[in-house]
């Protein structure tokens, strides 16, 4: 079993993120919440959030497909691949939430450093607020991990299904091309 090549990792992670984004945007649009949500968001933050998610998706896909990619599945077949997708999606969900918390803290600190330092010092005096904040971040991060895991597992099943259809449609031509290139 060889490692998945970087092009496969790039294509799979980009496809998954774009499909997920389109589904979420469609759901938000049909519920009427898209205009209100995006009105104050802006282009640069949108691109940065998408880029951050894309980097997380590439890293997770690389780890999920490290056992050989969609073509050369690991021991345990599709079930094992779905588990890798679940774990990868859970990592993405948790890392996304934690990244947002860190960025919001940094933005608050950069915009008004004296207020951020004094509020952090006041917060440090009241340890119960710090503990409450940490528990909330832990809970939300865990919830995002579970949701991300389900999405990751389903994404891998979609990827494997589409890969199977593409392989059947291309048939022996792919095998001939591989033997001609020496793979």
DSSP per residue, 12-31 = HHHHHHHHHHHHHHHHHHHT
The residue extents of the domains of the chain are: 6-181
Q: List the chain residues with pLDDT less than 50.
A: 1-2, 176
pLDDT on residue 54: 92
Quote the pLDDT of residue 176: 47
pTM of the model: 0.73
The size of the chain, in residues, is 183
- CB–CB of 137/97 below 8 Å? yes
- Mind giving me the DSSP string for the chain? -PPPPHHHHHHHHHHHHHHHHHHHHHHHHHTT-HHHHHTTT-HHHHHHHHHHHHHHHHHHHHHHTTTTTTTSPPTTHHHHHHHHHHHHHHHHHHHHHHHHHHHHHHHHHHH-HHHHHHHHHHHHHSHHHHHHHHHHHHHHHHHHHHHHHHHHHHHHHHHHHHHHHHHHHHTHHHHHHHHHHT-
Question: What is the structure's pLDDT at 71?
Answer: 67
| φ and ψ at residue 39, rounded to 5 degrees | -60, -40
| Chain segment 129-168, per-residue pLDDT in tens | 667 888 888 999 999 999 999 999 898 888 888 888 888 8
pLDDT at 1: 41
Among 83, 98, 96, 99, CA closest to 150: 83
């Amino acid at each position: 079993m060889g490692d998945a090549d970087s092009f496969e990792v790039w294509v799979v992670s980009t496809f998954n993120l774009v499909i997920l984004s389109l589904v979420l945007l469609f759901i938000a649009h049909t519920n009427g919440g898209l205009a209100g949500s995006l009105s104050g968001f802006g282009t640069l933050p949108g691109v940065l959030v998408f880029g951050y998610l894309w980097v997380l998706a590439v890293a997770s896909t690389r780890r999920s497909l490290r056992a050989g990619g969609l073509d050369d599945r690991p021991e345990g077949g599709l079930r094992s691949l779905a588990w890798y997708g679940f774990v990868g999606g859970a990592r993405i969900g948790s890392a996304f939430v934690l990244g947002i918390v860190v960025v919001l803290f940094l933005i608050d600190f950069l915009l008004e450093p004296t207020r951020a330092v004094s509020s952090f010092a006041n917060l440090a005096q009241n340890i119960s607020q710090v503990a409450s904040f940490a528990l909330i971040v832990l809970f939300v991060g865990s919830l995002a991990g579970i949701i991300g895991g389900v999405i990751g597992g389903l994404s891998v099943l979609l990827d494997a299904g589409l890969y199977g259809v593409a392989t059947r449609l291309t048939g022996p031509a792919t095998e001939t091309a591989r033997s001609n290139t020496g793979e």
